[in-house]
Amino acid sequence: MKGRTIILDHLGDREAAALMVDGQLEDLLIDGDAPRPGTVYRAIADRPVKGQGGMFLKTPDGPAFLRQVKGLSPGQVVLVQVSGYAEPGKALPVTQKVLFKSRFAIVTPDAPGLNVSRSIKDEAERDRLLEIAHDTLGDAGFGLILRSGCAGADSDDIAEDISAMADLATAVATDDSAEMDVLSLGDGPHVLAWRDWVAPAEIVTAAGGFATHGVLEALEDAAEAEIQLPGAGSMFVEPTRALVAVDVNTGNDASLAAGIKANMSAARALPRALRVRGLGGQIVMDLAPMPKKDRRAFETALRQAFRLDDVETALVGWTPLGHYELQRKRARLPLREVLA
């Protein structure tokens, strides 16, 4: 099946969305039991964590943890947003950098200024978008980022999106209650698919779409640790409690270039493998043997692969044992929790 297809369906009683590209599962969004990323709380500072510069907070949905906090005292009210999914048994990760995202616009209350996505190169189009932003936002005082999906979009649709996000930001910013509360809920998978998967695609909304478009079979494959790479190599992606282990093997390829070929294939395949499995946190790659002179080419391929991935990922670097480490935001619900 060629082309892009977005399927909006459910896995059991969980809302879910899948992106299929040329018959392959490219991305997957599944609703969880935990608060959704993007949820905004009026929280209460609880207790600081000495030595880490963090603070535990009280929210209506349980404890949250705020990193790198200064000037916050226990009992103080603080506005925070859920930034990802928590590890089992740990507090919700939150941030004070609250953003209000939609398909065309991101309103940034704490970062003033109007910006247009760098992927929009046409100067006339950039000028059109900035004019829409100035006319719609006025003197609201918020910052605004116009997303890549604005290119060629209808002016009224963009203005409506900006206005909706600005109104939400205003409602949250002007709330002056001192009680902890949920001020805004994060978006579910169907809205996230509409918001973030903006490239042209066939949209399937009929019930049972996962079964008829091959998503269920793709999920069975994703539940397995082994991923076959082009050529003879393979890659195993196995989450543990502490980290995600990625083991790259050359298979029955005995050529001198077997190691670098398998590692380059693994670099290109890793972002998709992590997205579909919903994996984040610390990631350690045990690569196939290759000369040190080939490391730069591998890093370049890995960097290019993650540049197209929308989940924040830091390429940390090499360990003394020759492993490669990454740190990835927990922006997806782990697939193994859903299929368990």
Give average pLDDT by consecutive 10-residue segment, the chain, 340 residues: 92 94 95 93 92 89 90 91 90 94 94 90 95 87 92 94 94 89 96 94 96 95 94 93 95 90 97 96 96 96 95 96 96 85
* Of the candidates 109, 105, 87, the residue with the CA atom closest to the CA atom of residue 40: 109
Two tokens, residue 206: 């009929």
- Pairing type for strands 143-146 and 181-184 reads unpaired
CB atoms within 10 A of CB 76: 14
- Check residue 1 and give its pLDDT: 67
What's the rounded Cα separation, in Å, for the pair 303 and 231?
Answer: 22
Q: 246 has which bridge partners?
A: 237, 285
- Sketch the domain layout of the chain as residue ranges: 40-95, 100-187, 223-339
Contacts of 80 (CB under 8 A, 6+ apart): 40, 41, 43, 57, 59, 64, 66, 94, 95, 96, 98
The answer to whether the pTM exceeds 0.85 is yes
Which fold does the domain 40-95 belong to in CATH?
OB fold (Dihydrolipoamide Acetyltransferase, E2P) (2.40.50)
Best CATH choice for the domain 100-187 from the list 3.30.230, 2.30.29, 3.30.390, 3.30.420: 3.30.230
Asked if the domains 100-187 and 223-339 are classified in one and the same CATH topology, the answer is no
Longest pairwise C-alpha distance within the chain: 68
Q: Are 209 and 14 in contact (CB under 8 A)?
A: no
Which fold does the domain 223-339 belong to in CATH?
Aminopeptidase (3.40.630)
Q: 232-264: b or e for each residue (b if 16 or more CB lie within 10 Å)?
A: bbbbebebeeebbbbbbbbeeeeeeebbbbbbb
- Check residue 211 and give its pLDDT: 95
